[in-house]
Structure 1
Amino acid sequence: MGIAADISVIVVAGLIGGLIAQRLRQPLVIGYILAGVAVGPYTGAVTVSNVHDIELLAEIGVALLLFALGLEFSLKELRPVRAIALIGTPIQMALTMLVGVGIGQWLGWNWTSSVWFGAAISLSSTMVTLKTLISQGRMGTLSSRVMIGMLIVQDLAIVPLMIILPQLSDLQTGLPQLAWAALRAVVFLAVMLLIGTRVIPQLMRMVSRWNSRELFLLTVVALGLGIGYATYLVGLSFAFGAFV
C-alpha cells in the first residue's frame, strides 16, 4: 500500500476506535491508541506498510496539536503550582522508578533492564494527558495546572535520563554530558522565554496588519514547527518545543 492508502486505513481505524470508546463512555484517545495498535505493523491484519513515513507524519501531527494547546495556555498559570511541579515531580518519578525496578527484579530482570523499565513508567504522555483534560473540560482548573506543570518537568527530565541510563555502568563518564545537556535545556528555555515575550508578539502584530489569513496561518505553523525543530536540535522533544 502507498502512503495515501495507509492514511486511509489509519483514519478509518481511528473513527471505529473513537466510536467504540464513545459507546463505552471512555476517553476518545483510548480508542485512537487501540486503533493504532490494531493497524500497526505487528498485528498481522490490515496494517500500514510505510511505517517510517507514518511515524514522521505522526510526530508532526503531535507537534501541531501541542502547539495549538500551547496557544491557549500561559506559563503564568503555572506560577501558583511551581513548587508542586518542581518538588513533587522528582518525588513522583523516583517513587515510580522504585516500583518499576522492584517489578523488574521480581520478574528476574537484571538491574539495568529494571532501571530502564522504571524510568519508562515514571513518565507520562503530554499529548494523551492534555487531550484527556480537554475532553473532560478540566483545562484551566487547579488540578490541570498541577498536571501540566509536572508534565513540563517530566519532559525536561527526559534529557538527563537519556544520558544517565546508557551510562549506568560508568556514571563518571556521563556526568560532563549530563551537565552540558542541563545547560542547553536552561539556555534554550531562557531564549524561548525572551523570544516568546519580545519577538513573537511583534511579529504576529506585523503579520496581522497585512490582513492575510493565509500568511497568518503560515506564520503560525512555521513558528510551531520551527521552534519544535530548534528544540530537537538541542536534544529536547520536538513536540515539547512546539508546546512551549
Structure 2
Amino acid sequence: MVRTTTHSTRLFLAAAGIGALAAAGSASVLAPANAQVHGLAAAQASTSTAYGVSASGNENKAAQPSVASDGEVKTASGSVSGMGWSASGITVKAGNGIAEATVANVVVAGKAIGSVSAKCADGAVSYAHGGAAPSDPKLKVSFGGGAGATIQILGAGDKVAQTITVAVVKCGKATVPPTNPPTNPPTGQPTGQPTGKPPGQPPTGTQKPTPKPGTTPQPAPTPQLQDGHHPVTG
C-alpha cells in the first residue's frame, strides 16, 4: 500500500508540473497575441483633430473652430478675436488619416502676421505661413514646432501676458475598412443568347423534307384528265 501511495503521489506531482508548464507556455503565447490585438485596436481608434486658434493668459479662449473625426471628413469655419488680436478666414477639417487648419490672416497689436496653416497626413505634420514675425519687442512669434504659429504678448517686465496658438492638427495613419467577399459567388455565366423556346423544340415555319442519301428526287406526277371533266377553252 505504501508503494502504491508513493507512486501515485509521484505521478500526481509529475502531472501537476506538466500542467503548470503547459499553462505557463500558453500564457507566454497569449501575451504577445493580446498585445498585438490591443495595439491594432489602438491604431484603429486614432482620431484626427484640427482647430484654428486658442488663447491662454490674461484672456483664455478654448480651441475654436475645432473638429475631430476618425472616419468621415468633418469641416468647420469661422473667425476669432480677443483683446488686441484677431484671426480671420479660419477653415479646419479632420477625417480618417488627415487633418488641416488654415487661418487666412492673423493680426496682433495692430501688426499683421499673415496666413498660417498646418496639415497632417498619415501622422506626418507640416506647417506653412505667408507672413513674417513683426519687429516688435513686445511680441514673440515662432512658426512650427507643434502649431502653425505661437504668438506671445509680453507685459510688464517682459513677462508673457498672453499666448495665442494658431493652426493645430493631429492625425494617425489612415485605416482601410475590411471588405467582405460574397459568400456564394456565381459559378458560371450562361453561354449564348436565349431563344425564348424550350430546348428540343423544332423551329417555326415549313421546311421541305431532306431526301435520303443515294436517292434522286422524283418530279410530281402530271394530272390526268378524266371523262366528264374537260377543261373549258372559251
Pick the TM interval, shorter chain: under 0.3
If the length of structure 1 is used for normalisation, what is the TM-score?
Answer: 0.20
Name the structure with the higher strand share: 2
If the length of structure 2 is used for normalisation, what is the TM-score?
Answer: 0.21
Name the structure with the higher helix share: 1
